[in-house]
Structure 1
Amino acid sequence: MRYVEVKYQPERSRACLGSPSLVKLDDGELVATHDYWGIYTLEGDCGLSSVYRSEDEGATWENVTHIIGAQWGTLVKLPDALYHISSTREYGDMVIRRSTDGGFTWSLPRDEKTGLLMRNESREGGTRYRFECGGGTLVHGGYLYKSYDKYAFDPGESAWEAGNFGTGIGRVPLDKDPLDVSNWTFSNILTFDASKLTDPKLSLGNGTGWLEGNPLPTPDGKIASVMRIHVAKPNMAAYLTLSDDAKVFSFDYETGLIDFIGGHSRFYIQLDPVTGLYVTFSNFITDEPVPTNRNLLSLAVSEDLRHWRRVKDVMRDESGLPPALSRQLTGFQYPAWQFDGDDIILLCRMGYRGSVNFHDSNRITFHRFKGWRSWL
């Protein structure tokens, strides 16, 4: 397995690396970001992301700046500039920043006119609502679409449960300033109701739920979101639909759960302009009793977003660990990627060769898959 290491974080620092994001600029240069998380970081108080650039197609990388107050960020290139959408901290405000110089400097989201999209709602003694920006982006039909999650929990709760997440999509016209929140349309927040499952055996109680969506154009011209789903069966995803005015987000419990390649961990889907296929990289589950393994990353394709075919395993553990230890200690996760001519370029959050477990990632790595369409 060949890769270029963008960032390595020593385990003794007690900090982990996350939220990889990658774009290619019009001049051919690459920009990448990631954040830091863990109990010995300030992610809950003030997020921090690092920005890197490569001028040699990913062979080498230079850390050019950091963004204070940026957690769970996503890069997106629009016609006028480069943007970074994030939370200000773990479950903080949802903000967007603009860079007009290729990622060296960034605007400051001071208020609703300069990039503050959603404020963290909280009240003493009640439920707190916080926004998570780990979902995907889509530029299509004159709009930027952004998936996001709303996490509700009672004060004092510490357990992470998928059932506490609701999901929504925001949309802004490309001819309007995305830093001005008045230009955005936000859908309703949709939560998963496990009591409506057609097969009750799929329920995990409050552990049943969705997050980290992927807004996409459907073959019939609509917008859908294929989402990470936590149910009792591996290799599934959720298929949600968005109304034409981007205000109504909906899910059909009869048909909305689909077979997928992975689906329990973050994945990112894009539509290939050459083949017309939907493409994703995801963590295919090979051991059903262990539905959370991330030590295998696979490429999969679909013609209709609902029926998926596993094409090739592109990353697997080469450390020589026994399978059980590999599942515990190795993770190739949260892949951020884009088409680059005949190739695909990918940035990976990697827990590998020294991480304390598969989830607590110690590396951000860059990969190029040359001539990938020959695999189809």
Structure 2
Amino acid sequence: MRPRIFGLLGLIIILLSVCSGTNNKYGLLDKDDFYLSDTLSCEIKTILWYSANADTTIIVDIYRSGEINEDVHVNISINPDSSDRKIENARLDAKPNIFKYSALLASDYYRLPGSYLFKKGEQKCSIALLVKKNALLNNWDGALESYILPVTLSPSSPYANIKSSTAMVVFSRMKAPGTVIAHIPASEKKFIGSPSICIMPNGNYIASHDENTVVNPTTNNITHVYRSEDKGKTWAYMSKITGQFWSSVFVYQGDLYIHGPDKVAGKLVIRKSTDYGKTWTNPDKDTNGLLLERRISGAPTPVIFHKERIWRAIEDASFSGNNSEGKWRYQAMMTSAPMGSDLLDASNWTTSNTLQYDSTYLDGKFGGWLEGNAVAGPDGKLHNILRVEVPVGCYQYAALVSISDDGKTASFDPHTGFFRMAGGASKFTIRYDELSKKYYTLTNYNYEEYTDIRPTRIRNVLVLMSSDNIRNWKINRILLRHSDVRNVGFQYVDWQFDGEDIIFTSRTSYPDEFGGAMNYHNANYLTFHRIFRFRDTKETDLNRNTT
């Protein structure tokens, strides 16, 4: 929410930072997550990336507005009135609260300094709150479970123009949110990409990701596969596939398949596994999974079943016509095959025509399209909904391409085919929920303050959105967020419905004990998450600003 300010007295603003025996990173959950109430108290929520291996100190910087004509002492204490309040629980799995403030107050893990001095003329002073190592580990599994500690600041002079305020500090262990499936430290000069997930007929989950190297990225061609037999709580490594990249896993006739190029902009291939991803067929010929010998691009986007056909959107990454190096080279297209056919046989697959980049689209602001979704619209027609690249300061859009029933013809009207969509510049996956009759997606939201960054590079906030008609989207829930837009990312999410819940995998850039990810893009984690009772959510205030 936006700050609301009342009264004419000088105000106190509290910012929180972290220093530790380890190289901890930190960040505000959201710089708008504070407000000034009618009583001029101030709440700010921030995450402390808590380390179990070293003492950690919270530094609270206190700023005073107006002129300071006298020395003023500021006392700090934990608010005794909140000792019976339950700790706020921010877990995605919504487990019951397990701690109360009284448990924290009874410990020695918090050392409260006495009085801190604002000298005459000074605008700022600092206080410190020590958190001992292992302080928060009792009965805690380290997931995104948060603890709120109220700290009261009181000035010694009633004329100090500083009001008593409460800083709400949210503690979280230095661990990626959700369940970690895979982790690659940045020092290996590799990063995790293209998360995909599907559910087997027996309820097992299969997840995959590709392995990207920054040394010679044009040769990237490796995918790793994992299996969970306990609803995502634990994961077992199944296989390494050489010759598979930017791919989607899916289930067809009870067996597991993976579909995508064999390397960066490589041939289109499909593989089959009958043992939960432990072994795979080899696409060495057109009757065994070699589908197209062209330069193919894509991402883990939906494989859907519609009108007796199997559909998946891809892009042709060949260099021709208006297409050259860059995102603008991608040509939108659709592939499909009849239900009941042998998916390993290339002769069963139909490929549509391709749609090239056109620099005149969106009044010259069109930067290209990629990573399309096969979606059956409310009219029963098959569409390809693509992510759209736009420049800094531009509204975000998605593109709606029409596909003929036989899968041979793709068509696009630039006057009606673009629609505004929050997160349209990021990779997204759209799926239809038969129960609610709504379309859902998980994508990245951009806050207004990021006016100097291209929308596609803002991936530190993940939201759940829904639509009744595939064109008008509403934000239902903020799922994950962090203030560090340059080093943190929850991105390229793939997901599935699982009863009342949604399960998803994320390519996650996040702080770790090795110094964190290379950047927001080059992720160090593959993480698994569950959204409980996703249909119960209502739209958020973010819908007022869906840029």
Is TM more than 0.5 here? yes
Deviation at 1:192, TM superposition (A): 2.6
1:123 equivalent in structure 2 = none
What is the aligned length?
350
Tell me, in whole angstroms, the C-alpha distance in 1 between the residues paired with 2:498 and 2:306. Answer: 18
2:494 equivalent in structure 1 = 336
1:129-148 Cα offsets, whole Å, 9 max, x none, are x2113243222222110111
Q: Which moved more, 1:278-287 or 1:359-368?
A: 278-287
Tell me, in whole angstroms, the C-alpha distance in 2 between the residues paired with 1:105 and 1:298. Answer: 35
The yes-or-no answer on 1:221 pairing with 2:380 is yes
Query: What is the aligned counterpart of 1:66 among 231, 237, 240?
Result: 240
Q: Judge conservation of contact 1:234–1:262 (CA < 8 Å) in 2.
A: no
1:137 equivalent in structure 2 = 303
User: Structure 1: which amino acid aligns with 2:312?
Assistant: K
Tell me, in whole angstroms, the C-alpha distance in 1 between the residues paired with 2:451 and 2:466. Answer: 22
Deviation at 1:38, TM superposition (A): 2.1
1:211 equivalent in structure 2 = 370
Tell me, in whole angstroms, the C-alpha distance in 2 between the residues paired with 1:174 and 1:264. Answer: 32
Report sequence identity in percent: 34
Deviation at 1:245, TM superposition (A): 1.5
Q: SS of the residue aligned with 2:347?
A: helix
Deviation at 1:182, TM superposition (A): 0.5
1:253 equivalent in structure 2 = 414
**1:294-373 map, 5 Å:** 294-317=459-482, 323=483, 326-353=484-511, 354-373=516-535
Query: What is the aligned counterpart of 1:191 among 356, 362, 373?
Result: 356
Tell me, in whole angstroms, the C-alpha distance in 1 between the residues paired with 2:417 and 2:452. Answer: 24
Deviation at 1:160, TM superposition (A): 5.5
Tell me, in whole angstroms, the C-alpha distance in 1 between the residues paired with 2:227 and 2:254. Answer: 19
Deviation at 1:40, TM superposition (A): 3.2
1:287-346 Cα offsets, whole Å, 9 max, x none, are 3432220000111100000111111110112xxxxx4xx111111100010000001000
Query: What is the aligned counterpart of 2:452 among 289, 299, 305?
Result: 289
Q: TM-score, normalised by structure 2?
A: 0.62
Deviation at 1:4, TM superposition (A): 0.1
Tell me, in whole angstroms, the C-alpha distance in 1 between the residues paired with 2:189 and 2:355. Answer: 35
Q: What RMSD over aligned residues (CA atoms) do the two structures have, in Å? A: 1.7
Q: SS of the residue aligned with 1:191?
A: coil
2:286 equivalent in structure 1 = 112
Q: SS of the residue aligned with 2:477?
A: strand
Structure 1 residues 14, 273: CA separation in 2 closer, same or farther (over 3 Å shift)? same
Tell me, in whole angstroms, the C-alpha distance in 1 between the residues paired with 2:317 and 2:339. Answer: 28
Deviation at 1:167, TM superposition (A): 1.1
2:79 equivalent in structure 1 = none
Query: What is the aligned counterpart of 1:163 among 328, 337, 341?
Result: 328
Q: SS of the residue aligned with 2:505?
A: strand
Deviation at 1:115, TM superposition (A): 0.2
Tell me, in whole angstroms, the C-alpha distance in 1 between the residues paired with 2:368 and 2:248. Answer: 22
Structure 1 residues 161, 234: CA separation in 2 closer, same or farther (over 3 Å shift)? farther
1:87-132 Cα offsets, whole Å, 9 max, x none, are 1111111100011122121111011100001113xxxxxxxxx211
Q: SS of the residue aligned with 1:357?
A: coil
Deviation at 1:171, TM superposition (A): 0.4
Q: Judge conservation of contact 1:343–1:370 (CA < 8 Å) in 2.
A: yes
Q: Judge conservation of contact 1:226–1:237 (CA < 8 Å) in 2.
A: yes
1:256-290 Cα offsets, whole Å, 9 max, x none, are 11011211111000001110100000011213432
User: Structure 2: which amino acid aligns with 1:165?
Assistant: Y
Tell me, in whole angstroms, the C-alpha distance in 1 between the residues paired with 2:350 and 2:311. Answer: 10
User: Structure 1: which amino acid aligns with 2:359?
Assistant: A
User: Structure 1: which amino acid aligns with 2:508?
Assistant: M
Q: Judge conservation of contact 2:465–2:475 (CA < 8 Å) in 1.
A: yes
2:346 equivalent in structure 1 = 181
Q: TM-score, normalised by structure 1?
A: 0.89
Tell me, in whole angstroms, the C-alpha distance in 2 between the residues paired with 1:306 and 1:145. Answer: 20
Tell me which structure has the larger Cα radius of gyration: 2
Deviation at 1:195, TM superposition (A): 1.7
Deviation at 1:151, TM superposition (A): 1.4
Tell me, in whole angstroms, the C-alpha distance in 2 between the residues paired with 1:372 and 1:112. Answer: 41
2:94 equivalent in structure 1 = none
Deviation at 1:152, TM superposition (A): 3.0
Q: SS of the residue aligned with 2:419?
A: strand
The yes-or-no answer on 1:231 pairing with 2:390 is yes
1:59-98 Cα offsets, whole Å, 9 max, x none, are 0101011111111111011124110012111111110001
Tell me, in whole angstroms, the C-alpha distance in 2 between the residues paired with 1:253 and 1:88. Answer: 32
Q: Judge conservation of contact 1:94–1:133 (CA < 8 Å) in 2.
A: no
Query: What is the aligned counterpart of 1:33 among 208, 226, 230?
Result: 208
The yes-or-no answer on 1:268 pairing with 2:451 is no
Determine which structure has greater relative contact order: mean sequence separation of CA pairs < 8 Å that are 6+ residues apart, divided by chain length.
1
1:81 equivalent in structure 2 = 255
Q: Which moved more, 1:338-347 or 1:281-290?
A: 281-290
Structure 1 residues 119, 315: CA separation in 2 closer, same or farther (over 3 Å shift)? same
2:231 equivalent in structure 1 = 57
Deviation at 1:46, TM superposition (A): 5.6
Q: Which moved more, 1:159-168 or 1:91-100?
A: 159-168
Q: Judge conservation of contact 2:200–2:254 (CA < 8 Å) in 1.
A: no
Q: SS of the residue aligned with 2:360?
A: helix
Tell me, in whole angstroms, the C-alpha distance in 1 between the residues paired with 2:218 and 2:458. Answer: 26
Structure 2: stretches of 5+ with no match in the other structure: 1-143, 145-176, 539-547
Q: SS of the residue aligned with 2:485?
A: helix
Tell me, in whole angstroms, the C-alpha distance in 2 between the residues paired with 1:163 and 1:192. Answer: 6
Q: SS of the residue aligned with 2:291?
A: strand
Q: SS of the residue aligned with 2:535?
A: helix
Q: Judge conservation of contact 1:333–1:349 (CA < 8 Å) in 2.
A: yes
Deviation at 1:373, TM superposition (A): 1.0
